[in-house]
Amino acid sequence: MNGFSNVVLVDHPLVQHKLTLLRKKDQPTTDFRRLVSEVALLLAYEVTRDLPLETVEIETPLERMTAPILAGKKLCFVSILRAGNGILDGMLDLVPSARVGHIGLYRDPQTLVPVEYYLKLPDDIGERLAVVVDPMLATGHSAAAAISRLKQAGARKIRFVCLLAAPEGVEVLAEHHPDVEIFTASVDRQLDSHGYIRPGLGDAGDRLFGTK
């Protein structure tokens, strides 16, 4: 149990192993980026576990059969720019037919309040499961703001996926969006005074793109 009713903790051994490698401060950018993509693919298995199925008739090399296939409109992955793109790539490896949306938010360094600068979503977002992706759920304000904008655009079924979460961020997201499940590999100890997750893994965006 993780202590949070809105959190699905993905504790698969491979996820936990790769997360430990991600945390190491001397992990090179190339390896960090690859590991994020690998963990994202594994997280995608969990967040899509209950997608609806229908049956179709197909022909195998030996005979005809009725077999399951995904039903109706499928997914939309929504990346919170810029770091969300690191998770997006791994998930698209698993579900290449998914639609993709982007929302640009930056955190005001003084107030820590998110400011939106970009939004592009599929027109039929309301007919799809919207999976919002961002490596870190820290204060929770950016995630809450992104999900509010998705709901304004018509999204009705939303899930949030991150590598790491802080208890403070989980609580903020639950307060603003109690209907949204959080899928994560770990809920870490706390936020520090600068809004970073402890013990965490540093700034995921900088480590993904080698900008620091």
Catalytic residue numbers?
A: 107, 111, 203, 206
**Residue 139, annotated as binding a ligand:** yes
Determine what percent of the chain falls in helix, strand and coil, rounding each to the nearest 5: 35, 30, 35
Q: Is 86 annotated as a binding residue?
A: no
Do the annotations mark residue 5 as ligand-binding? no
75, 48 contact by CB (below 8 A): yes
91 is in an annotated binding site: no
Q: Would you say 107 is a known binding-site residue?
A: yes
Q: In sequence order, what are the residues at sequence separation of 6 or more whose Cβ sits closer than 8 angstroms to the Cβ of residue 204?
A: 36, 83, 86, 135, 136, 163
Asked if residue 153 belongs to a known ligand binding site, the reply is no
Within its chain, how far is the Cα of 6 from the centroid? Answer: 14
For residues 72 and 69, give the distance between their C-alpha atoms in angstroms, rounded to a whole number.
10
72 is in an annotated binding site: no
Cα 153 to Cα 60: distance, rounded to the nearest angstrom:
42
Do the annotations mark residue 197 as ligand-binding? yes
Tell me phi and psi for residue 56, to 5 degrees: -135, 160
Binding residues: 82, 107, 134-142, 197, 202-204
Binding residues for 5-phospho-alpha-D-ribose 1-diphosphate: 82, 107, 134-142, 203
Binding residues for uracil: 197, 202-204
